[in-house]
Chain A
């Protein structure tokens, strides 16, 4: 079955710097890759997603890139702000199943 690895597990940056989180997946048939942000005690919230027919997607300060050949995808947050501090999860959805296989999570701390 699908397996998703996420790195780093923790990331600390200064406000205004960029943050990059990387994930790899094992199932080449996976075709949907969302990123979720989870604040303490809250539910995961979708921040951006990408499908396998697209290499890059951007939404304001957030961008995601996908390399299907290498089976990895990355989240880029530019001009980080303290309110970006949270746990971020990547996920992969095996072809047409709808279920999500999550990475282990990255705790991002943005220092003011």
Chain B
């Protein structure tokens, strides 16, 4: 059973470009969560999605950031017009449908560097 898969592992973007981060949850998991970890800081909740639905986006910046989890395919976190302050590790976690409050399995993360 493959774990949560994130790609790419490392992403370098110039200021103003777009960044697309992908997350494939564990098999059988239909809840996906995105977290951001700034250098030497804790993890901050960004968004919670189920298939085709955004459940909670209270942690998402109001501009430039969006997320989706389509019926088919991975969840995508999209950052438009990246700035240096977007440089961080972005982690995705998934959990199963039948137990909402249960352990979250984290992916390896995508380390975004904006130059």
Question: Besides A44-B43, A98-B102, 6 other CB < 8 A contacts?
Answer: A31-B101, A36-B106, A45-B106, A89-B43, A102-B44, A105-B42
- A44-B108 Cα distance, complex, nearest whole Å: 8
Give me 11 A-to-B residue pairs in the complex whose CB atoms sit less than 8 angstroms apart, sorted by A's number: A32-B101, A32-B102, A34-B103, A42-B108, A43-B108, A46-B103, A99-B56, A100-B33, A100-B104, A101-B45, A102-B45
The reply to whether the CB of B69 lies closer than 8 angstroms to some CB of chain A is: no
Of the candidates B44, B100, B103, the one whose C-beta lies within 8 Å of that of A96 is: B100
Instruction: Count chain B residues whose beta carbon lies closer than 8 angstroms to a beta carbon of A.
Output: 24
Q: Contact check: which of B31, B44, B106 meets A44 at CB < 8 Å?
A: B106
User: Closest CB-CB distance, B3 to chain A, in whole Å?
Assistant: 9
Q: Chain B nearest CB: distance from A24 CB in Å?
A: 15
Task: Determine how close the nearest CB of chain A comes to the CB of B89; give it in whole angstroms.
Answer: 9
Q: Which residues from chain A contact B95 at a C-beta distance below 8 Å?
A: 98
Q: Specify which of B35, B44, B101, B109 lies most central, judged by the most chain A CB atoms within 10 Å of its CB.
A: B101
A93 to B104, CA, bound (A): 11
> Taking CB as reference atom, which chain A residue is nearest B101?
A32
Cβ of A1 under 8 Å from chain B: yes
Kindly list chain B residues whose C-beta atoms are within 8 Å of the C-beta of A105. Answer: 41-42
Give A16-51 as 1s and 0s: 1 = Cβ < 8 Å from B's Cβ atoms: 000000000000000110101000001111100101
**Chain A residues bordering chain B, tally (CB within 8 A):** 26
Bound CA span A89–B31, Å:
22
CA A103 to CA B95, docked complex, whole Å = 20
Q: Which of A36, A44, A96 counts the most chain B CB atoms within 10 A?
A: A44
CB distance from B101 to the nearest CB of A (A): 5
A100 contact set on B, CB distance < 8 A:
33, 35, 43, 45, 93, 104
A103 touches B48 (CB 8 A): no
Contact A1/B58 with A101-B45, A102-B42 known, Cβ cut-off 8 Å: yes
User: Which of B58, B100, B107 has a CB less than 8 Å from the CB of A98?
Assistant: B100
Contact A97 B104 (CB under 8 A): no
Cβ of A98 and Cβ of B42 under 8 Å apart? no
A32 cross-chain contacts in B, Cβ below 8 A: 101-102
Report the separation of the CA atoms of residues A104 and B31 in the bound assembly, to the nearest whole angstrom: 24
